[in-house]
Amino acid sequence: MSGRIGIAQRLYQGQVSFNFVGRRRTWYVVSAIILLISVGALLFRGLNLGIEFRGGADFAIPNATCSVQQARTVAEAKTGAQAIVTSAVNGTIRVQTESLTSDESSVLAGQLADLCGVPKAEIKVQVVGPTWGSEISKKALQALVVFLLLVTIFLSIYFEWRMAVAALVALAHDLVITIGIYALTGLEVTPATVIGLLTILGFSLYDTVVVFDKVKENTRNIAGQSVLTYSEAANLALNQTLVRSINTSIVALLPVLAIIIIGAGLLGAGTLLDLAVALAVGMAAGTYSSIFIATPFLAQLRERQPAMRSLTARVTARRAQAGKGRTGDLDDAGGDGDVGMTTRAPDTVRHQPKRVTRSRRSKS
């Protein structure tokens, strides 16, 4: 416990520093690879949309004695189309078919009840038309657009437009990765998944705002000094909030993992799995993006300003004059370079003439 608090204090005071901002090219490459995999899975595999989006009939058979293949054969024989049949840990078999009328779904439910040795009344039947799913998608898209618009306005007023852009880039990063995981794994996309996606936007934004608030504090009136560049001050803020970000993410992920393992794994609650997976992936991606994407991208935008370039030049000149400048090009530390940085400014040495004693002055 004391060791963890010690490292947190050292990070906050700048005695220990991880070079997040200076090595942003490395993080960009890692994120680009993950994003390419996610987009590729989305394009070539696509999303496994639930019946709420594509329309169809869903039959949940509890304590079924039949096999998945037997249930599939009966469903496909009745509908004349391919059926999706899955089995849960608790013995429930789920049969999904194309859209059926009420009479057709009642007949198929009776056939499945006879096959699986279950009373017809215990089979849960859900018939959904494709228009309902399209309405959900439309409402979700509207909610997303409104959310992003409000976020942009808030961040632009409270911080500045560059921080708003960096936060939106991080949000898009988290969304693409989460959707790509669903496409890659073939997990079913349901309304619960959409709820999970909208929820992780708030979590990702919260973590980013916490870091940006510290960056704002560290960089206030930064152009009036010549000790730290903007990238170094932002990197210091990132280190100061690092332990808080990690602790917050761990605390938030623990109950979500419990939902996945206990709720979906042991109890077989599929809706919980749809929601929890989106939350877990989104929270992990949000923590990563707030540290490795949002702040480095913000520093890159700010270092392109003439005032920040002049600041970098003054810091370089001061350190060179002090004889303790670092090797490498400091200008690249604020651009696209991969240069190591320290968060604490090097000490400067003042050279003053030696004082002559009063006795020596009298002799001379």
Please report whether residue 343 resides in a domain: no
* CA atoms within a 13 Å half-sphere pointing along the CA-CB vector of 251: 7
Cα gap 64→85, rounded to integer Å: 12
pTM of the model: 0.73
Q: What is the pLDDT along the chain (364 residues), one digit of tens a residue?
A: 444 456 556 655 556 678 889 889 999 999 999 999 999 999 998 888 877 777 788 888 888 888 888 888 888 888 877 788 887 766 788 888 887 888 888 888 888 888 888 888 888 888 877 676 677 778 878 888 888 888 889 888 988 899 999 999 999 999 899 899 989 988 888 877 888 888 888 878 888 888 999 999 988 888 888 888 999 999 988 888 888 888 888 888 888 888 777 765 555 555 677 778 888 888 888 889 988 999 999 999 999 999 899 988 888 888 888 774 444 444 444 444 443 444 344 443 334 444 445 544 444 4
Three-class DSSP category at 126: strand
Looking at the fold, whether 88 and 157 belong to one and the same domain comes out as: no
DSSP letters, 67-112, are: -HHHHHHHHHHHHSS--EEEE-TTS-EEEEES---HHHHHHHHHHH
* 88-90-94 Cα angle (round to 5): 35
Query: Would you say 339 and 333 are in contact if contact means Cβ atoms under 8 Å apart?
Result: yes
Looking at the fold, whether 159 and 174 belong to one and the same domain comes out as: yes
Cα gap 132→20, rounded to integer Å: 46
Looking at the fold, whether 147 and 211 belong to one and the same domain comes out as: yes
Name residue 231's beta-bridge partners.
Answer: none
Predicted pLDDT of residue 326: 46
Host domain of residue 96 = 56-128
Domain harbouring 27, CATH code = 1.20.1640.10
**Helices of type H across the chain:** 2-13, 24-44, 51-54, 68-79, 102-116, 130-158, 161-185, 191-218, 230-240, 242-258, 270-289, 295-302, 306-322, 330-333, 358-363
Please report whether residue 356 resides in a domain: no
Please report whether residue 187 resides in a domain: yes
The residue out of 111, 128, 145 marking a domain boundary is: 128
Looking at the fold, whether 197 and 159 belong to one and the same domain comes out as: yes
Please report whether residue 318 resides in a domain: no
Looking at the fold, whether 142 and 234 belong to one and the same domain comes out as: yes
Looking at the fold, whether 165 and 118 belong to one and the same domain comes out as: no
Please report whether residue 320 resides in a domain: no
What is the number of domains present in the chain?
2
Please report whether residue 250 resides in a domain: yes
Please report whether residue 319 resides in a domain: no
Looking at the fold, whether 120 and 226 belong to one and the same domain comes out as: no
Three-class DSSP category at 60: strand
